[in-house]
Amino acid sequence: MSPTTVRDAGQHPAGTSDRKFKMISFSFAFIFLITGVLVRAFSSSPSSSYQSLAKREVPEQAQVIDAKSFNVLPTVLPVTVANGSSYFFIPPGQTLDTLTEKPFHVYHDSFYDVIGSNPTLTLIASGGEDLLFHEAAVWYPPTDEMFFVQNAGAASAGTGLNKSNIIMKIALPEAMAVSSQRNATGSVNVQTVDAPAIRNSNGATNYRGQLVFTAEGQGPNLPSQLVVMNPQEPYNTTILLNNYFGRQFSSLNDVAVNPRNQDVYFTDSLYGYLQNFRPYPGVIPQVYRYNDEAGAVTAVADGFGLVNGITFSPDGAYAYVTDTGANRGVWGWNFTYPASIYRFNVQDDGTWENRKLFAYVDNGVPDGVHCDTNGNVYSGCGDGVQVWNPSGTLIGKIFLGKTCANFNFAGDGRMVILAEDDLYYATVNASGGSYIEEK
């Protein structure tokens, strides 16, 4: 319809269409302008996977680490010098002392939500040259105690074929009482648990009101097995599983219970063989699923170098598995092998699909792994505890300046960190350490 026809029909006075067209054009231009501003604002907001760190009040024991400060370095050292086995990357302007003085390292704004306004890190015990604080950190809420085990493979531990490693525990209230101190060594009583039936334990989790340990075994005639322990005296034990259709597992490493189906999932690695206290392996490194009602054991994942830690997202929809393949045990380190965390989708029937590389750590290898209630993923690594958001972005570290094999939450805002010869207690804002009652 032409403009003349419109006017002749008496619908609009002369010139109204031109003015309306200009108003509409201006309105659309204004909308596009506002939309562009909002898109730019949200793309740089703290909720984005990558963004500049906002100017926020930094807690006393925390510091901001700006990744842009080391995107381009004047010298990049060769791999014979700078590798994850013995080298800590120190950002420009920092020293190892300054990094450990303020151990909560903020790489991403969301780490402030993890650590809260006043995070603390306290050294609560030291084993000297004895690597007492290594693996199997598990919180038992009824007594508010944290259990953990000695390193079974280190030569200095004197374990292996000579003796089994030991299980220990601490009372959390004792650690809480000294959390305002940086060094409270000797203030917390480290108790030995008398459970000799568990040979060279390496992983543990809550199970039907008790604890289940992965026992690596000892020599050719004491096989790897899952062992249930009463966490209170007399610490009696029951073997839950010790074979796969008559074949020995190689060296059971870690265990977790899926919060959705409550089946037991565990990893079987090669560390007992690599550390000379288990025979040549008869099966490949895999992840298994155990349904205790039917007694069924199934393999759910393979393709690992040295499968290690395992955990689940809070809703049980994702499984996270660490691969410490770069750590070749007595054969040394080889960083052409994995130092990685993989994520799997857990299906409704308990099987796993969609293996995805979730993270590759920058120091050492990822060992023990846990999630907080918001789905952030934590792992013990070569320099402490590293933390990623659910998208796999490194958001922060609890920097120890030394290896952390394992750690665990003790409910709301409490964490115990195992650093081989040292034991730490941390207070943060995040929560974890799920406790699953009997079915």
12: confidence class by pLDDT, cuts 50, 70, 90: very low
d(CA 254, CA 252): 6
Residue 208 pLDDT > 50: yes
**How high is the pLDDT of residue 52?**
55
Helix (H) / strand (E) containing 24: helix 16-43
pLDDT mean over 373-378 = 97
Query: Is 87 among the domain residues?
Result: no
> Could you report the per-residue pLDDT of 327-337, keeping only the tens digit for each?
876 667 888 89
Residue 27 pLDDT > 60: no
CB 428 within 8 A of CB 411: no
Domain count, the chain: 1
pLDDT mean over 64-78 = 93
**How high is the pLDDT of residue 349?**
95
Query: Is 2 among the domain residues?
Result: no
CATH code where residue 193 lies: 2.120.10.30
Residue 11 pLDDT > 80: no
Length reported for the chain = 439
pTM of the model: 0.87
pLDDT mean over 349-369 = 96
In the Cβ-directed half-sphere of 171, how many Cα atoms lie within 13 Å? 8
Query: Is 294 among the domain residues?
Result: yes
Residue 50 pLDDT > 80: no
d(CA 419, CA 439): 34
Query: Is 15 among the domain residues?
Result: no
Share of the chain above pLDDT 70, in %: 85
What does the mean pLDDT of the chain come to?
Answer: 88
Query: Is 266 among the domain residues?
Result: yes
CB 139 within 8 A of CB 157: no
Query: Is 437 among the domain residues?
Result: no
**How high is the pLDDT of residue 54?**
62
Query: Is 418 among the domain residues?
Result: yes
289 lies in which domain range? 103-432
Query: Is 75 among the domain residues?
Result: no
> Could you report the per-residue pLDDT of 110-146, keeping only the tens digit for each?
999 999 999 999 999 998 888 999 999 999 999 999 9
